[in-house]
Each structure stands twice: as structure tokens, then as C-alpha cells.
Amino acid sequence: MMQKLRNIFHSFPIQLLVLHVRSNHLLLAMWVVFFLLVSGALASKLGFQYLFLDPEYLGAVNFWSFFFVGIGFGSFFMSWNLAIYLLSAHYFPFLASLARPFTKFVINNLLLPLSFLIVYLGIMVYFQRYYEGLVFREVTLNAVGFLSGMLLLIILYSIYFQFTNRDISYYESRPERPPHLTRAYTPGRRQVDLEYIKLDSTRWRVDTYLSESLEPRLVRSVAHYDTKMLMSIFKQNHLNALILQLISMLVLLVLGYLVDYPPFRIPAGASLFILASVLTALIGAVIYWFGEWSMTVIIVLLLGLNILTRNDNFNYTNKAYGLNYETAPAEYSLKRLQEASNSTRIEDDKAATTAILERWKAKTEEEKPWMVILCSSGGGLKSATWSMQVVRTADSLLNGQLLEHTVLITGASGGMMGMTYLRELYLQQQRGECVDVHDPRYIDDIAKDLVNSIAFTIVSNDLFIPWAPFEMNGYTYYKDRGYVFEQQLNENTNGILDRRLEEYREPEASATIPMLYLTPSIVNDARRLIISPQGVSYMMKAPVGQRYPKAVEVDAVDFRWMFQDQDAGNLRMLSAIRMNATYPYVLPNVHLPSRPGIEVMDAGFLDNYGIVSATRFIQVFREWILENTSGVMLLQISSSDKVEEITPSGGQGIVESMFNPLGIAGKVLVVQEFEHDNSLGFMYDLLGEERFIQIPFFYRPTEDNKLEASISFHITQREKADVMRAMNHPSNLSSLEQLQQLLSPPAKQK
């Protein structure tokens, strides 16, 4: 029994696995990450597992979407084997004595990939069958699609090696070269003492290996072979591997140029596999060339890259499309902000907004109408879908009274994507276009996938310096994942959001549509940037700052005022939406034309629920509200429940407890909720309990759905259906009933 165990342990597949655990930690980590992603143990709230379990291609989950994921997996599988072969083949000199050594190496290196494949297919089949409700035939077809894509790429690699790699028979039949030509024609890592490896049987013992027919074969001694010949075989195989990896990167560059064409936007899961294949190739190359110095070299390369990219010629920063970056940049200084927040401009902007409020009141035909403010939280496509579903349902039940009474829409990220789209539909409806804002098919549009195009562009374009130019609203920029996000969102919404910021100035001013604030966070100093076609300088500081200038700080910036000389009104509305929804790393931070340069990202980091903007607006126009309205009705539309379970702190080891002080940093949204509740309490005191009503709409997963919809730019059909059904939750039905009592047409006062 013990002898059998020893034989198994000293077989080539097991020894390769031992080698990975001992030496190839970075390359082994790639598989660990994919295991965690697919199982949902890592980034489940962001929906990363759905990118592999429910991939979309051209808006559909089918054979072809899984086929491309299979191609991506095949690329990673072969790249990983190539890297391992480059780094490890010299430990096993018997390979050089075999026909087709790389093929046999891959077969014996299947333990990890095969384990992942079995786990992945098992989870995928279960997910597709029980969470998506697909019939057995559809699930089988999807699995066949994945396997077909994987096998196709492996076959292409095999054909390449069949015609390029040479084995022992080739070198034995070849005449000996003159001494001056025996130098290896490919550089390698540090010199390997192959003679020592051949003679020392305890160095890395392998007794058996698997052949192409999966039959165990005994390893034969290679001590009688010429060392130079064995090294030539390895180096020639290495050269072909490196050439193939370079070709793969070139293909990615070409595909990046074609990203404007939807058929080239492969599923995000495939893109992640391809990204892993590129990283694997890079890691393998660095370790191959520099051996034990590899970590030092990686650190030096990262530091060098950081220094190099400080130069504008080697660094690309994403821009807001429509702004003029060629003119003198705007001055962004504390002095200028303080001057603006204490100038007569504030009174002018307040007067202009008051005129909008007067037109809104006249439109309602009520003596004292309720003023509605919509606050929509961030949360990716889940929040976009939920926000549209809430407003569409409520406005339909109220025969259009909800949107008619709405003065301001604010919020963050995905929620504002949905609200901006809904408002544009409402504008077209108001202008007599053939649009029904209550039609559920528009929710289908906003729920369409955005992640695939982003992920593919990261892999094929943004890993390199973006180089493909394009023109937008009169200025030239370069394509990157920010550009692709806007193009994909524009396609999903049938092109109706491709407008300039200035085009909304008159519809808002005439109270045809509600005002809307997009409020991305300024990375430099944690202020909010208020993007609106109207002048909103009164939002830059709390109202008390007008009476006591030194009492409070400027905590927000009026975008239109700050960038008036940089063509602020020409800003593409899709860029404004993206600035407001710039989730870290998924989308690039936007750099604005100022001195010093302003960098902005997702609004959710400072005001994920839009409450800060809403309460500031109420503070500024408190007197008008009290005199002209019945009060303020604030609809809080949130894509997640505010009540969270308390996380226990016990049962931790000493290493885990060291990270406890950092835990509060991950509670940004919870801290915001506490602060927002405090602000809402202040609103009750400011307006009076009868003049301020908060009506919450929270998405909660239904009882038959075990998984809460994820926070990402991808939402599955099951998740979308669950979000739509959440309107039937008792708390949301109660909120609808309260809305009907306050805004239903019979209650209108003439």
C-alpha cells in the first residue's frame, strides 16, 4: 500500500502540483482567484460570478456567449501552461527525450485546470438550471458552447506547436553544427546546470508520466544524451512559447481598435480570462528572465513605470467629452471658491431657480402643491432598474402626478443613470413624441449589459496606452473604457441620451422637466462637483455661510461656473452620467481642465443617496417652500435595505484582529446613512413635521430569490425580475398608498 502511494506521489502530475505549491505562487494564485470568483466567495456583491455563470454576448445568454468564454478560458489555460513550461521544464530533463514534450507536459499538468473545469461546469449548470430556470437542453447547449470554444483554442495552439516545436528525433537526425554555431539562439534565464539535474536522482524525482493516450509510462534516464542537445530542445520550445504570447498581445491591440463594433465586444468573463492570460505571460516572462531577482525587478519596473508616466507623453488621462482642454485651464483654488460663494452670483442663481419654482407651481394648477424631490441611490444596473420601476409604477398609478410634482432629482451612480434616462423619456413625451414613460420596455433598455464592453476594452486597449482618436462635440480625444461605456449606454438607450448639457437648460428653466443634479466626488479635496445646466452656486456652501462667511467651508463646486471658459455647456450628457457613476478601476477617473487638475469619481463616495444635495436645496429655498407649498415630499429610492446585521468582532485570531481598526473604512455607506438620517431629522425641524414627509422605497429580495441582486453594470434576467417584483413588498406597497393619498388627482386644490 505504501509503495503504491509512493508511486503515485512520484508521478509527474503530482510532482508538478507539488512544484506549483512550492515555487509558482503567483501563477497558482490565478487559479485560486478564479475558484473564488466562480463560487461567489469573492466579490459576490459586485456580481463577478455572473460574468462567468451568465455571460452575455450581443445582449443574449446562449451558446455563443459561452463559446467566447470558453475561448477566453482556453487562452488562459494555454498561457498558464506556457509560463509553467518556461519556468519548470528544465527540472524534468526526461521531457527532452520524448516526442512532443510540450504536449505531454500539458497533459500531466491538468490537475489544477481540470479541477477548476469540473467545479465551474457544475456551478454553471446548477445556476443556469435553478436560478435562470433554463431547460436541460438549453443548459447542455451552453455547456457545449463553453467546451467548444475552449477546445478550438487548444487545437489552434496544438497545430502551431506541431509545426514549430522540435523533439529529440529532429536533433538526433541533424548534423552536428560547428562549435561557433552551437550558442543558444534564444536568451534564457540564469544558466541551468542540466548535467547536475541529470545525474542527481534526488533533485526532482519522477518515476512515471502520462502519455497522450493517458497511459502511465516509466521515465527513462537521459544521462546518455548530450546536454547541449537537451538544452536546444528546451530553448527552441521556449522561443515558440514567447512568440505565441507576443502574437496574442498583438491580436489584443488589433481587437481594441475594433471595439466600436458590437460583435467584437466579447463577454466580460472571456475578457477576464484573457486578462489573466496576459498577466500570466508577463509574470512568467519576468521570472524566466530574472529568476530569484524577479520580485526585485517587478518592484523596480513598477517604480520606473510610475516615474515614466508622470510625463504627459507617456501618460493618458481620461477626459470629459465636450470640454475644451486646449484653452487655458480653469483656476481651482480655495480663494476662487470662497470668492464665488460670497459673491452676488449666488443671489442671481437663487433668483433664477426661484423663477423655475414659480413656473413649476403654475404648471401644477394648485394653490399649494406638494414639492417632490427624488433621491435615487447608487448600485449599478440594479439601482437603475429599481429606480425606474419605482417612479414608473408610482407615476402610472397617479396618472402622471408624481413627475408633475417633482422639482429635483438627485442621487448617485446607477440610480441616476436610470433617472436621467427616465427624465429624457418624460421630456420627449412632454414634447408630443410617441413615447410612453410608463412603458416597461424602457426598463429593459437600461438593464442591458454594460460590463462586457468595459472589460474587453480594459484587456484589449487600456492595458496599453489608448491610441485610437475620435472627435466629440468639436474636440478630439482618445478611446478607452470610458468612451466605450458611453457608447454602449448610448446604444442601450437608443441614442436619446447623446445630448449636450446645455440642451437641458431651457426645458428645466420652463419647468417642463424636473431639475437634475449629477454630483461626482472630487478626489483632490473630497468636495462634490454639482453638474447642472442651471447656475447652482448656492449649493456650494451651507446658507449660513452667506451671513457668516468664515463659519463654514465651501464643500461643493458649481461645474457650470467653474468651467465656463472651457465650454461647460458643451459637456456630453453621457460623460456627466459616467462621471457620476465612476466605480473605481472599472471606469477611469475623469480629469478636468483646471489648474491644479481636478480628478473626479463616483458620487456615491460622498453622497450615495442624494440626501446631501436634497437637504441643501431645501435649506436654500426654505422660505419659498413654506410660503408656496404644502411641504416637501422626499422619495428615498434605495437599492438596498438600510438595516444591516451587526457584525460580531469575536472569534478572531491575532492576525485578523490587527485589521479591526481598518474595518470602519469599509463602512462608508453605513456612515453616510447615519449622517443622512441626522440631516432628515433636521429637515423635520426646519420645515415642521407636517411639512416634510419622507417616503422610502427599498429593494429587498423576494422570498423565492435566495440571492440579492448584485451591484455591477450587469444584471441577470432573474435579478431583474426580482427587482421588478420588489414593488410588491408590503413596505413598498404602503409607501405607494401614502403617495396616492397625498398626490392623487381628486386631492388637487383648484
- The full DSSP string for 591-622 is EESEESPEEEE-THHHHTTSHHHHHHHHHHTH
Asked if residue 602 lies in contact with residue 526, where contact means CB atoms within 8 angstroms, the answer is no
Return all residues near 739 (Cβ < 8 A) that are at least 6 apart.
Answer: 394, 397, 398, 402, 633, 635, 695
Q: Same domain for 434 and 509?
A: yes
| Cell numbers describing residue 387 | 429606480
Residue 650 lies in a domain: no
**Listed residues 312, 339, 362: the one ending a domain:** 312
Residue 567 lies in a domain: yes
Residue 318 lies in a domain: no
Residue 739 lies in a domain: yes
Query: Which amino acid is residue 480, in one-letter code?
Result: D
Scored b (16 or more CB within 10 A) or e, 404-415 reads bbbbbbbbbbbb
Asked if residue 453 lies in contact with residue 265, where contact means CB atoms within 8 angstroms, the answer is yes
Instruction: Report the distance separating Cα 701 and Cα 697, nearest Å.
Output: 13
Asked if residue 633 lies in contact with residue 742, where contact means CB atoms within 8 angstroms, the answer is yes
At 18 the three-state DSSP class reads: helix
**For the chain, how many residues are written?**
750
Instruction: Report the distance separating Cα 382 and Cα 50, nearest Å.
Output: 13
Q: With a cut of 70, which residues of the chain have pLDDT below it?
A: 96, 164-203, 221-242, 245, 248-249, 252-253, 255-257, 309, 311-314, 464, 642-667, 669, 703-709, 745-750
| Cell numbers describing residue 278 | 496576459
Residue 131 lies in a domain: yes
Instruction: Report the distance separating Cα 613 and Cα 411, nearest Å.
Output: 8
Return all residues near 656 (Cβ < 8 A) that are at least 6 apart.
Answer: none
Instruction: Report the distance separating Cα 409 and Cα 424, nearest Å.
Output: 12
Asked if residue 355 lies in contact with residue 535, where contact means CB atoms within 8 angstroms, the answer is no
Q: Same domain for 305 and 376?
A: no
Instruction: Report the distance separating Cα 378 and Cα 381, nearest Å.
Output: 9
Residue 621 lies in a domain: yes
Domain span at residue 523?
330-639+681-701+715-743
pTM as predicted: 0.85
Q: In the prediction, which pLDDT does 185 show?
A: 34
Residue 609 lies in a domain: yes
User: Pairing state of beta strands 521-522 and 598-601?
Assistant: antiparallel
Instruction: Report the distance separating Cα 630 and Cα 617, nearest Å.
Output: 17
Cis, bond preceding 543 (omega within 30 deg of 0): no
Q: In the prediction, which pLDDT does 717 show?
A: 82
Q: Same domain for 376 and 246?
A: no
Q: Same domain for 284 and 391?
A: no
Q: In the prediction, which pLDDT does 181 show?
A: 36
**Listed residues 250, 280, 312: the one ending a domain:** 312
Q: Which helix (H) or strand (E) holds 633?
A: strand 631-638
Asked if residue 268 lies in contact with residue 51, where contact means CB atoms within 8 angstroms, the answer is yes
**Listed residues 267, 282, 312: the one ending a domain:** 312
Angle between helices 63-88 and 101-108 (to 10 degrees): 110
At 320 the three-state DSSP class reads: coil
Instruction: Report the distance separating Cα 482 and Cα 468, nearest Å.
Output: 13
Residue 707 burial by Cβ neighbours in a 10 Å radius (0-12, 13-18, 19+): middle
Q: Same domain for 233 and 276?
A: yes
Instruction: Report the distance separating Cα 495 and Cα 487, nearest Å.
Output: 9
- Of 519, 533, 539, whose CA–CA distance to 618 is shortest? 539
- Of 738, 719, 726, 681, whose CA–CA distance to 700 is shortest? 726
| Cell numbers describing residue 114 | 481540470
How many structural domains comprise the chain?
2
Instruction: Report the distance separating Cα 541 and Cα 555, nearest Å.
Output: 6
Query: Which amino acid is residue 539, in one-letter code?
Result: M
Q: Same domain for 412 and 365?
A: yes
Question: In this structure, what CATH number is given to the domain that contains residue 619?
Answer: 3.40.1090
Asked if residue 376 lies in contact with residue 387, where contact means CB atoms within 8 angstroms, the answer is yes
- Of 326, 351, 303, whose CA–CA distance to 534 is shortest? 351
Q: Same domain for 298 and 394?
A: no
Q: In the prediction, which pLDDT does 183 show?
A: 41
Q: Same domain for 78 and 105?
A: yes
Give first-to-last CA distance, the chain, whole Å.
95
| Cell numbers describing residue 559 | 461645474
Q: Same domain for 296 and 376?
A: no
Q: In the prediction, which pLDDT does 189 show?
A: 45
Which pLDDT tens digit goes with each residue over 612-665?
Answer: 999 999 999 999 999 999 999 999 999 877 555 666 665 666 655 665 665 555
Which pLDDT tens digit goes with each residue over 96-140?
Answer: 677 778 888 899 999 999 999 999 999 999 988 887 778 889 999
Q: Same domain for 261 and 165?
A: yes
φ and ψ of 500, to 5 deg: -90, 155
Residue 249 lies in a domain: yes
Asked if residue 711 lies in contact with residue 380, where contact means CB atoms within 8 angstroms, the answer is yes
Scored b (16 or more CB within 10 A) or e, 17-29 reads bebbeeebebbbe
Asked if residue 476 lies in contact with residue 323, where contact means CB atoms within 8 angstroms, the answer is no
Q: Same domain for 287 and 215?
A: yes
| Cell numbers describing residue 454 | 468595459
Q: Same domain for 158 and 230?
A: yes
